[in-house]
Structure 1
Amino acid sequence: MSILLIRSRRAGRKAVLFISAMAAMAACSAALAASSIEPPQAEQVMATTASGVQVYSCEYDADHHLAWVFKSPLATLYDTSGQAVIKHAAGPSWQAEDGSRIVGHVIAQAPSNTPASIAQLLLETHSTGGSGTLSSIRFVQRINTVGGLMPASACTAEHQAGSSPYLTNYVFYK
């Protein structure tokens, strides 16, 4: 964002401060909009509850220190009657019992409302196969996250695997 400040003798310092304040408010509004996890112009198709783990791997960072790195989710999603309907895995991907499958990428995130939990997300998707439940899905929202942060135990060996249980709701939109 670029701002043109025009200063006249009459405008003085108050105008400059006003324009600066307006620019700061615009920047804050843009930041808030960017962190919204509400899907744009979408219709909810299905809401699920997920139970699973976030999988991590112990890897060297740029400073050659071992640290946990997120690898993939591994979860089962249940409909409102408690029936397992979707498997969630790396990609991130979701595969329904009918064979339809989507892959998503994160377009927005927000902190969890639960302390020490993974972020809430909005993901944009594309269909990767099969026709069915997930074929028309454009967005997936991960909300109400509980858990899932990197393991509390020390990361001590390269490629060591670790996982952390998590619960969440995934909402699917077309």
Structure 2
Amino acid sequence: MKSTNTQFRTAGKSLLCTTLMIGGTALIMAACSSAPPLPKMYSQDRLPQAVMVPAGHQVVLETRATGILNYECKPTATGPYGWVLVSPQANLLDRTGKDVVAYSGPPATWKHIDGSSVVGTQVSVAPNGEYTLPLQLARAEPSMGTGALQNISFIQRVNTKGGVEKTKPCAALNTGEKLTLPYQADYIFWRQG
């Protein structure tokens, strides 16, 4: 009798261990499958035509910027007075969250931590809300140095937030007054390819 009971206990323990292992594995797999998916690669499908990069180019670097825009109240070419952008300053993070590019101007200049840099000239813009910077497409000038920003052809500014002042007046009375506004945007770097 003892040997039959021992065999049942051994078989029971073995069955219990197998059940626990299978159940534990299933729980681990379920937990892993509920983790958020990696973000999708950038797509310009939903952008206005004015700021779309022409066919034949590919995304080289996707970045997210947080920075400031410095304005000055002065006469403008389009009207008597307005808030004119004097200089942008931003740090750009790549998809992994690493600080990789410094943005400044004028002229609009992006400098990568690897030493490469690119200067951009605005081609077109598209509105993105009354108090938000417009979306922008810039053509890249020949780049400096070798690295991530070498041979960049276009830079897009998308997903903009903030950066525009519509409530503080700018007139002859406050000519020369300065204003600093925070903003966020994604900068997408493209290369012919």
Give the aligned length: 140
1-structure distance, mates of 2:150, 2:96:
22
Query: How many Å apart are 1:51 and its aligned residue?
Result: 0.4
Does structure 2 conserve the Cα–Cα contact (< 8 Å) formed by 1:102 and 1:126?
yes
1-structure distance, mates of 2:169, 2:125:
27
- Does residue 155 of structure 2 align to residue 110 of structure 1? no
- Does residue 182 of structure 2 align to residue 161 of structure 1? no
Q: Which residue is 1:13 aligned to?
A: none
The share of aligned pairs that are identical, in percent, is 30
Structure 2 residue identity aligned to 1:85: V
Query: How many Å apart are 1:126 and its aligned residue?
Result: 1.5
2-structure distance, mates of 1:111, 1:64:
19
Q: Which residue is 2:138 aligned to?
A: 123
1-structure distance, mates of 2:78, 2:136:
29
SS in 1 for 2:142: strand
Q: Which residue is 1:82 aligned to?
A: 97
Q: Which residue is 1:38 aligned to?
A: 52
Distance 1:110 1:61, change over 3 A: closer
Compute the RMSD of aligned alpha carbons: 2.3
Alignment of 1:9-24 (within 5 A): none
Query: How many Å apart are 1:76 and its aligned residue?
Result: 0.7
Does structure 1 conserve the Cα–Cα contact (< 8 Å) formed by 2:67 and 2:90?
yes
2-structure distance, mates of 1:81, 1:160:
39
Does structure 2 conserve the Cα–Cα contact (< 8 Å) formed by 1:151 and 1:162?
no
Match of 2:113 among 84, 94, 97: 97
Distance 1:172 1:152, change over 3 A: same
Query: How many Å apart are 1:115 and its aligned residue?
Result: 4.6
1-structure distance, mates of 2:98, 2:166:
29
SS in 1 for 2:120: strand
Say which is worse superposed, 93-102 or 35-44, in terms of deviation: 35-44
Does structure 1 conserve the Cα–Cα contact (< 8 Å) formed by 2:64 and 2:185?
yes
List alignment gaps of at least 5 residues for structure 2: 1-47
Does structure 2 conserve the Cα–Cα contact (< 8 Å) formed by 1:151 and 1:163?
no
Structure 1 residue identity aligned to 2:113: E
Q: Which residue is 1:5 aligned to?
A: none
Q: TM-score, normalised by structure 1?
A: 0.72
Structure 1 or 2: more helix by fraction: 2
1-structure distance, mates of 2:78, 2:124:
29
Deviations along 1:56-102, one digit per CA (max 9) or x if unpaired, are 11113479954311222211100112111001111111011111111
Query: How many Å apart are 1:122 and its aligned residue?
Result: 0.8
Distance 1:82 1:71, change over 3 A: same
